[in-house]
Amino acid sequence: MTTTPLPTTRVLWLEDRPAEIRDPLPEAVEAVVVGAGLAGLSLALHLRRLGVEVCVLEREHPAAGASGRNAGHLLAGTSEYYNRAVDLLGREKAREIWAFTVANQQDFSAHLLSLPVETGYQRCGYLACATTEHERRELEQTAQLLREDGFESEFWSAEQLLKRTGRSPFLGARYSPDDGQVQPARVVWALADELRAAGGLLACRTEVLAVESDPAGWRLELRTPEGARRLRATVVIHCTNAWTFQLLPAFTDLISPVRGQMLATERLHKVIPMAMAANYGYEYWRQAPNGEVVLGGWRWSQREQEIGVLTETLNPEIHAGLTTFLQGHFPKLEGAAIRCAWTGVMGFSRDGLPWVGEVPGRQGQYLAAGFTGHGFGLAWRCTQGLAEEIVQGRLCESLRWFRPRRALG
């Protein structure tokens, strides 16, 4: 048993959370989006821009789910290192999917920079660091394969790492200059503001309990603070990530809840220059705009306990592991106080790729979920393509690897 004391459970990013919005709901609407995370609000905005009457329903508040509880890395790529993605998917498919994430990153970062509010976006670069000789070789191979396929990627040896970042305990790293970071909850709140300014509706504290068929399309049974009510919609889109199985049981084995845990130190002078990760992405860290060092991971040590859970309680063993990692890898941070810690639940897809498109057997219901710890690298473009599919009624080529029918067809 560990004896590391647990800090206050609080999400750093949610500290200055805006007031909850509860727009009055109509009797019927063209499109309902379930879930006000990154995916739901991006999709609603894309739909609204295409002229659709849209209403977002959220059980809690915008960014209450994984979208407000993550590391805020805005990265190109998938959950696996590229050499592994090539082995798993084949070279051409891996290249196409990587290119999709690069386009997502370009479009989404341009959108964030165009917003009138500060979302903390920085194109700071990203280092995937090697903790073992085996991982070092894989990262070197990954960088090589990416360059061969036309993507920007460098491999830094241990000596180069040391020279460029000061002290480094790692054996080498892959450097990706275009990757960046954001204050994740602020991104979500900015999308919510944008949606409402464009005429979209948002109702917090409104849970969708069931979606039943109706002559006009679909009838949603809701739980609101005032009690039960109904809403009719032509189209319903599930952006419920880890919770998808609750309304779509067919996805129970396809999207699994996986809990991630993070901590944040007190405010410190600049010690971490960019977005960073190690151990195949299992540990990840960065410095927040106000100076807090934010670190997450260690769930590999508690695999059984962290899969399939939706509760947001801290795991003391993981906290102890993260604290040890922090002290062992950043001697400059010795003595830094841990200000808070929190968890968030991700939606891990069975094959590592998101599920975006019409739900098989439920015409007029769609899904954008299962981002497998990489929503910021995927969701903007995925939901843009999905909005076009819904409005134009034809399949969007760039989503072809993500269609739900690949498993349920």
Ligand X SMILES: Cc1cc2nc3c(=O)[nH]c(=O)nc-3n(C[C@H](O)[C@H](O)[C@H](O)COP(=O)(O)OP(=O)(O)OC[C@H]3O[C@@H](n4cnc5c(N)ncnc54)[C@H](O)[C@@H]3O)c2cc1C
Q: Which residues bind ligand X (CB under 6 A)?
A: 34-40, 57-60, 64-67, 69-73, 207-208, 239-243, 246-247, 260, 262, 296, 344, 346, 369, 371, 373-377, 379
Question: In sequence order, what are the beta bridge partners of 294?
Answer: 264, 286
Burial of 321 (0-12, 13-18, 19+ CB in 10 A): buried
Q: Crossing angle for the helix pair 91-114 and 379-392, nearest 10 degrees?
A: 90
Least gap, CB of 274 to ligand X (angstroms): 13
In 3D, which of 272, 279, 284 has the Cα closest to residue 374? Answer: 284
Which residue's CB is nearer to ligand X, number 171 or number 368? 368
Closer CB to ligand X, 140 or 237, in the complex: 237
Q: Are strands 201-203 and 154-157 parallel, antiparallel or unpaired?
A: unpaired
CB of 28 to ligand X, least distance (A): 18
| Cβ nearer to ligand X, comparing 155 with 376 | 376
Shorter beta-carbon distance to ligand X: residue 140 or 389: 389
Min. distance of Cβ 335 from ligand X in angstroms?
25
- Where on the phi/psi map is residue 7: left (φ > 0), alpha (ψ -120 to 50), or beta? beta
Cβ of residue 135: shortest distance to ligand X, in angstroms? 19
- Residue 294 sits at φ, ψ, to 5 deg, of -115, 125
Q: Is 345 helix (H, G, I), strand (E, B) or coil?
A: strand
* Closer CB to ligand X, 66 or 254, in the complex: 66
- How far is residue 33's CA from residue 58's CA, in Å, rounded to a whole number? 9
Nearest distance from residue 234's CB to ligand X, in Å? 19
Q: How crowded is residue 392: how many other Cβ atoms within 10 Å of its Cβ?
A: 10
Smallest distance from ligand X to CB 296, Å: 5
Residue closer to ligand X (CB basis): 171 or 318:
318
Q: Distance between CA 51 and CA 264 in Å, rounded?
A: 41
